Amino acid sequence: MKESLSRYERIEAAWNLEEADRVPVSPLNCYILAYQGGISIREMFHEPEKFTEAVVKAREKIGEGDQEDPNITTLDHLSLRPKSGWDQVTLDWRIWDQFPPEGNIPSFFEKCIIEDYDDVMERGFSTLLFNKKIGKDVFNRSLEDFLYYEFEYPEIYAKAWRKFVEEHEVPLIMGGRATIPFELVLYYRGFAKFVQDIFEQPDKVKDMCEFVLEHEILNALKQAMIMGAGEVPGAEKIFFQAGVVGPPYISPEVFEEFVWPTLKKGVDMIVKRGFKAHVHTDGDMTPVLPVLKDITKGLPKGKVLLDFEKTDMKKAKEVLGDKVCIWGNVPASLLCYGTPTEVEEYCQKLINDCAEGGGFILATECETPWNAKPENVRVMIDSAIKYGQY
């Protein structure tokens, strides 16, 4: 048996395509941390000390994974300047105070915000700030409120998470977030019109993806610095994410022509500045694995991770195993509606398919649903210990 490693060393080994003491396990816990920790969404968003205390309580119920997500989404939702397409200033995001049935987790109301790509590239996004299509609640926020949550609150938030990491020796999954440009533009255009654009004005779509890229990446790097990159384990990682940038939502051809160029450029920008890129994609990326094989081209080893949802993990290991660490993919449906035995069997198979030689982190499909059964999440953690020893 290998020497027992700290959580961060275990995760680092996987990123570096090395076998650790055991397979790392890292369910992507977001709203479930607040829900199982006994606090409301409002408290989760506005009281970071209370949130990190809730995280400790939640981990007692759902198990102690090797990392935790500091939920940078909350900062993005409250920000003055749009970040990752999660803001309420240019898009219609609605945020409730409570979990269902009284409220809901934040929900996106898709609308066509950008009418003309050329116009936005000419005049900038300032023309879309506080536009008429966003939610009306945002106009109830004061000037002081916006300035506080943009400039002071991220520091307070980071301080609470730094304390959590130091006290519990649990690294962060990320320090900053960015959205893959193809998807970010889609948020502003709406799915139906965006798909039409791909065929009717393809060059404009590509130009717009290029237009938003640098702003998106540099903001994420700045956020990671606030979260303590280089001092707080895991804060150096940028969660470069998207929900619908691959099959079945778009074809492999559209992926290669429209998604890949700015996805690869973004990863290069992150890594060449010394940060690490955690590339999160929903959907089934199996048909585009041959393209993703080049994600590390020209980059040093151990700086990129590919996080999969519905992708065939065995195939991903075959195609990418010697290039990049892979992450995934216990189904959300199984965590909500399955039994612990079913989850355990699924985890065992994933470990058998992907763990050999290192470079695999046992994780959830997208995120752990807020209403996942605690015993099912816990069995994921236990499975990594039971079946994942190197």
* Residues found near other proteins in the complex (CB under 8 A): 6, 8-9, 12, 81, 120-127, 130-132, 139, 166, 169, 212, 214-215, 218-219, 221-222, 224-225, 229-231, 233, 236, 272-275
- Cα(243)–Cα(57) distance, rounded to whole angstroms? 29
Place of tokens 């320090």: 175
Please identify, using beta-carbon distances, which residue of 101 and 126 lies nearer to other proteins. Answer: 126
Helix (H, G, I), strand (E, B) or coil at 131: coil
> Strands 25-26 and 237-242, how do they pair?
unpaired
Output the smallest distance, CB 309 to other proteins, in A.
28
Give the DSSP letter of residue 136: G
Output the smallest distance, CB 122 to other proteins, in A.
5
The amino acid that residue 76 corresponds to is D
Output the smallest distance, CB 21 to other proteins, in A.
13
- Cα(365)–Cα(353) distance, rounded to whole angstroms? 16
8 A C-beta contact, residue 13 and residue 19: yes
* Sign of the dihedral through C-alpha 265, 226, 96, 215: negative
Give the DSSP letter of residue 48: H
Output the smallest distance, CB 197 to other proteins, in A.
19
Please identify, using beta-carbon distances, which residue of 154 and 283 lies nearer to other proteins. Answer: 154
The amino acid that residue 68 corresponds to is E
Output the smallest distance, CB 241 to other proteins, in A.
19
8 A C-beta contact, residue 239 and residue 174: yes
Phi and psi angles of residue 57, each rounded to the nearest 5 degrees, phi first:
-65, -40
Please identify, using beta-carbon distances, which residue of 268 and 312 lies nearer to other proteins. Answer: 268
Please identify, using beta-carbon distances, which residue of 195 and 225 lies nearer to other proteins. Answer: 225
Place of tokens 């290991």: 317
Please identify, using beta-carbon distances, which residue of 131 and 251 lies nearer to other proteins. Answer: 131
Please identify, using beta-carbon distances, which residue of 113 and 372 lies nearer to other proteins. Answer: 113
DSSP state string for 59-116: HHHH---S-B---HHHHHHH-SS--TT--SSSS-EE--SS-TTTS-S-EE------S-
Output the smallest distance, CB 271 to other proteins, in A.
10
Please identify, using beta-carbon distances, which residue of 139 and 199 lies nearer to other proteins. Answer: 139
Which letter, b or e, does each residue of 9-33 get, where b requires 16 or more Cβ atoms within 10 Å of its Cβ?
A: bbbbbbbebebbbbbbbbbbbbbbb
- Cα(163)–Cα(51) distance, rounded to whole angstroms? 12
Output the smallest distance, CB 312 to other proteins, in A.
32
Output the smallest distance, CB 224 to other proteins, in A.
8
DSSP state string for 62-77: H---S-B---HHHHHH
Please identify, using beta-carbon distances, which residue of 247 and 266 lies nearer to other proteins. Answer: 266
Which residues pair with residue 330 across a beta bridge?
Answer: 364
Please identify, using beta-carbon distances, which residue of 12 and 367 lies nearer to other proteins. Answer: 12
Output the smallest distance, CB 36 to other proteins, in A.
27
- Would you tell me the crossing angle of helices 374-387 and 340-354 to the nearest 10 degrees? 40
